[in-house]
Structures are given as structure tokens and as C-alpha cells.
Amino acid sequence: MSWFNKKTKPEETGDESLLATYRSTGDLALLGKLYERYMPLVYGVCLKYLQDEEQSKDAVMQIFEDLVDKVVKHDIKQFRSWLYVLSRNYCLMQLRSAKKFDTVSVDDVMESAFVLHPDNSSKEEYLQSLERCMEKLNDAQKQTVDLFYLQEKCYKDIAGQTGFSLNEVKSFIQNGKRNLKICMEKNSER
């Protein structure tokens, strides 16, 4: 892509002017013109942190999509510096999310000898253990796990009912499953 090789150069219209006009009109072409000036900078930042050309190109596009809302919400004094920090933070979040724990299937959490071949006394012990472990979850995890698995709600419905964002709902469920699994394993060792 040729825009990765462009040099950033001063334009006739200042950054602040383009930014102000975009905020008042919502014209994406103006934001695109402003962003195009700094695409090489953004790409360089992404390449530095992500160390992968394709991921960096994808990040440049995703950062532009994020800009559409963020430039309206933030008080930006110097666009270039602000964009640099935004790009760096985006890359750090990507790196951080890549290091997160692997997701655990609910089947892995629930699968045990008790569930596969329950007898009445073992099943009762298992359910009591599961209840105790559910109580140990924080409120957000407990609420989202309950809504997702026991009440069979979708992420969107849970977000609407709880006021959490979709990403928060996914995170709470994932972390709740992991914590349940750890707790259940500890209880089965006793």
C-alpha cells in the first residue's frame, strides 16, 4: 500500500481546523484527510509494538474507525501527539488481550465424573459445591454467568439488562467460568 510509504508533511489546512470542521459537520472525508497525514506515524507505532506488518496495517484501519467517535469525545490540543498516544494504547491493548487466558468451555467447567455418571448423593454434593463456588464470584461475574448459562440469555440481552457493555459481559462470563473451574477443582481435591 502506497500510503505506508508517504512522508508526513504540513498541509494547507491546519489539523485543528480540519478537526473542528469534522466535529461540526461529521464529514468523514475531512477526518480521513486529517488521518491520512499521520498514517505513516500510526503504522510506525503499530509496527514497533505489534512487530507484524499485516497486524499493523489492520491496526491502522481499526484506529481510524475508533477515531470517528473518539475525536468528538476528547478535548484534543495537538492532534499528532494525541493520535500517537491513542495508537500506542491501542497496540498495548492488543498485546494485552493476546496474553489473556485461553477461554474455557463451560463443558470443561461442568464436566466431571459427577455430571457424567451421577448418583444421587454425588450429584447433590456437586451441586452444593457449584453453588458455593458461584457465591465466591464477584457480583458482576455471578450475575452474567447466571443470566448466560442458567437463564440462557444472549450477550446483547445481558448487556441491556445489566447496563454492562458487550465487552464487559464477555469478560465477566469468561472470568467467571475460569474462576468456577478453579474453585470446583479445589473442592474436588478435598
One domain for residues 166 and 140: yes
One domain for residues 79 and 8: yes
**Confidence tier at 166 by pLDDT (50, 70, 90):** confident
3-state SS, residue 37: helix
Cβ atoms of residues 162 and 169 within 8 Å? yes
pLDDT of residue 117 exceeding 80, the answer is no
Cell of 121: 448423593
H helices then E strands: how many in the chain? Answer: 10, 0
Residue appearing with cell numbers 463451560: 106
pLDDT of residue 55 exceeding 60, the answer is yes
Domain containing residue 136:
106-189
Cβ atoms of residues 47 and 60 within 8 Å? no
One domain for residues 125 and 82: no
pLDDT of residue 112 exceeding 60, the answer is no
Q: What is the CATH number of the domain that holds 144?
A: 1.10.10.10
Please report, in angstroms and rounded to a whole number, the separation of the first and last CA atoms in the chain. Answer: 60
CA gyration radius, the chain:
24
One domain for residues 71 and 158: no
Q: What is the CATH number of the domain that holds 79?
A: 1.10.1740.10
Please list, in sequence order, all residues whose beta carbon lies within 8 angstroms of the beta carbon of residue 11, skipping any fewer than 6 positions away: 33, 37
Asked which of 82-91, 101-110, 144-153, 154-163 is least confident by mean pLDDT, the reply is 101-110
One domain for residues 15 and 78: yes
Q: Find, among 53, 41, 44, the residue nearest to 82 by Cα.
A: 41
Residue 14's pLDDT is what? 86
For 21-34, what is the mean pLDDT? 90
Counting residues of the chain whose pLDDT is more than 70, the rounded percentage is: 79
One domain for residues 88 and 35: yes
Residue 74's pLDDT is what? 86
- Taking the whole predicted model, whether its pTM rises above 0.85 is answered as no
**Confidence tier at 97 by pLDDT (50, 70, 90):** confident
Structurally, how many domains does the chain consist of? 2
Q: Find, among 158, 179, 177, the residue nearest to 169 by Cα.
A: 158
Tell me which of 80, 98, 116 is where a domain ends. 98
One domain for residues 176 and 113: yes
One domain for residues 78 and 124: no
pLDDT of residue 139 exceeding 60, the answer is yes
Looking at residue 1, what DSSP letter applies? -
Q: Find, among 43, 40, 54, 53, the residue nearest to 90 by Cα.
A: 43
One domain for residues 9 and 87: yes
pLDDT of residue 116 exceeding 70, the answer is no
pLDDT of residue 51 exceeding 50, the answer is yes
Residue 88's pLDDT is what? 93
Q: Find, among 64, 101, 97, 100, the residue nearest to 83 by Cα.
A: 64
